[in-house]
Amino acid sequence: MHIEHDDAQSNKKSWKIWWELIRPHTLTAAFVPVLLGSVLALLEGKTNALLFVAMMVASVLIQAATNLFNEYYDYKRGLDTEKSVGIGGGIVRHGMSPRFIMTLALTMYGVSVLLGVYICASSSWWLAVVGSFCMLMGYLYTGGPYPISYTPLGELFSGLFMGFLIILIAFFIQTDYVSGIAVLVAVPSGILVGLINLGNNLRDHDGDKANGRKTIPVVLGPKNAVKFMGVMFGVAYLWLVGLVVTGTITPWILLSLLSITKAIQATRGFVGKTEPITMMPAMKAAGQTNTYFGLLMVLGLYISYLVSV
């Protein structure tokens, strides 16, 4: 009985490690934009359940693979140690094989490619170019000779490719076009996905600076980076209000304003903090802001659809 209990505990721990390794709090940056693009397509009277599912699975796998690439290359470049704060570190803290982690990431990319072939065959082969570029950017974020994560462009690239473009792709595969409204609605989502990355870089400021990274917090300094975060949260919310005021989109979308408390919590949570461990709640709040904002926007748009039917 004692041995069985130990085995159960070991299996539970193993599952927990793997779950943490794909960084589940970041996966909302993959599935929320797909939901948003799909509900925008629904408002156009067009929807395709199989393409929606394929896009959803592919997006989540690409995000998870990107996180594994990050795990692999942070280890290879000596950024991860046993004392590193965060939910990564599967290699340095749990003895996982770097080769296996890379293989798993590439396998996820392989499955995404297969799903991408189905999506392209059902919509447009031009998406193969866009999708391939997005996957390449996911790899180059931490891989390659000049990783994007070492520059001040990390937030821009993550917001553009994970928050903004995914919405437009999810919309396009179900409608065969991209509307101006879809583009405008995608902007605040892109901003919030980028801010998830900014929160991560604020926590890692000291280590990044020591290792030669030039992230926004390193370039601007932590205090100014936090101010920048607050300003960009404000831009995202004001952008949404502007869309409603100009009659571009339904007022129901303003349900997303209910998430503003999380944005405030995220910004304030970084103020005056210098130790990485003390910034973890703020990082979590930044991720939750994106999740709540996006899901409430989806809800508002869906209510608008139901009212119009």
- Please compute the mean of the pLDDT values over residues 64-84 and round it to a whole number: 71
Give the C-alpha distances (Å, rounded to integers) separating 292 from 87, 172, 297. 22, 24, 8
Domain extent listing, the chain: 27-304
* pLDDT of 7 above 90: no
What's this model's pTM, rounded to 2 decimal places?
A: 0.84
Q: What is the pLDDT of residues 88-147, one digit of tens each?
A: 555 655 567 788 888 888 999 999 999 999 999 999 988 888 888 888 887 888 777 888
Q: Say what the pLDDT of residue 70 is.
A: 80
Instruction: Using the predicted structure, report yes or no on whether residue 213 has a pLDDT greater than 60.
Output: yes
Tens digits of residue pLDDT in 153-192: 999 998 998 889 999 999 999 999 999 999 999 999 999 9
Choices 1.10.600, 1.10.40, 2.60.40, 1.10.3210: CATH for 27-304: 1.10.600
| pLDDT recorded at residue 140 | 84
